[in-house]
Amino acid sequence: MKPVATKGAKPRDRRIVAADLFCGVGGLTRGLLDAGIEVVAGYDIDEACRYPYEHNNEPAVFRNRSVVNLNSEDLGKLYPADCWSVLVGCAPCQPFSRYTQGLDTEDSEKWGLLNHFGRLVGELKPDVVSMENVRELRRHRVFRNFLATLSYFGYQVSACDVYCPDYGIPQHRTRLVVLASRLGAIEIIPPTHGKGEYPTVESAIRDLPKLKSGEICSKDHLHRSSSLSTINRRRIKHSRPGGTWRDWPQELVAKCHRKRRGKTYPSVYGRMEWEKPSPTITTQFYGFGNGRFGHPEQDRALSLREGAILQSFPSDYQFVKPDGEYHFKTIGRLIGNAVPVRLGAVVGQTIMKHLENHV
């Protein structure tokens, strides 16, 4: 297929149009929209993403389709003539994550998804490409192949590790961001926050209504916390911000942590600290025993809304239809797997600045 048209109107007059692969609930899409980039469609195989993606990112449409079965003919139809074309995506990161290091993930079908991303770039040849993932991806051959594909098709490429607090995201999270352009060199914009300016757990969620474990906020049904077992209610009362299960009375310590191997895992059953960014929000952030996800003051784990806010989603972002059911496991997965919205906006601002420089 021929490259998307890039000749005709002056660059400043052209629409900047993007499609989002592996779009999830729209974290990256929302960020691009906030930066001023028009997003026409998002592709994902998880049907649970449809409502949050479309409801919060209108007029972008959700396509329940795998990139394996996607071709440049389909994608090419999304881009109007004489637009700046942008293709972005975050291939599923589970095979590359540090949480699976040491496990045999080579046979995971997800390994090939980044190759399909590269295939689509080669067929479509959009003006700008961006890919976000875990930084551990750098170690794998599939990543080197992806960069080689971009270079082969004439892209200038940059890849950097982005520490989220440097860009105003209240979360200790580092992500790998790849940017590539057919127009010339492209680099991510400079950090927007210094160390003394990092947003904190307090600045992000302190003002939300108080909850007890298992309680649902009447004004915002996403602001709900999971129930704690009797022993975990006792444990969290003995937990301090920034502490570990080692602070508990001996009778509350789990048997697995009393063993020599278990003593090396202190970063579970902990409370967050008001004055610092949160730990990395995983797909199980709603569980007190799944990490340092205890509320700094209230005797409960993070609510679903708090997790979404720490992922920099707007406080009114909707994940469930008005008459829908709230499943912690499903919503936790959608939120934890998302690209932080603010990081998406940084990518979008980088692309906007890059295109402005090519007027």
Residue 245: count of CB within 10 angstroms of its CB? 21
What span, in angstroms and rounded, lies between the C-alpha atoms of 66 and 29? Answer: 17
Is residue 176 within 8 Å of 135, Cβ to Cβ? yes
Is residue 23 within 8 Å of 42, Cβ to Cβ? yes
Q: Of these residues, 23, 49, 83, 93, which one is catalytic?
A: 93
What span, in angstroms and rounded, lies between the C-alpha atoms of 245 and 289? Answer: 10
Q: Which two tokens stand for residue 267?
A: 């970063």
- Catalytic status, residue 93: yes
What span, in angstroms and rounded, lies between the C-alpha atoms of 331 and 286? Answer: 10
User: Strands of 16-21's sheet, edge to edge?
Assistant: 61-64, 38-44, 16-21, 84-89, 128-134, 174-181, 156-163
Q: Which residues are catalytic?
A: 93
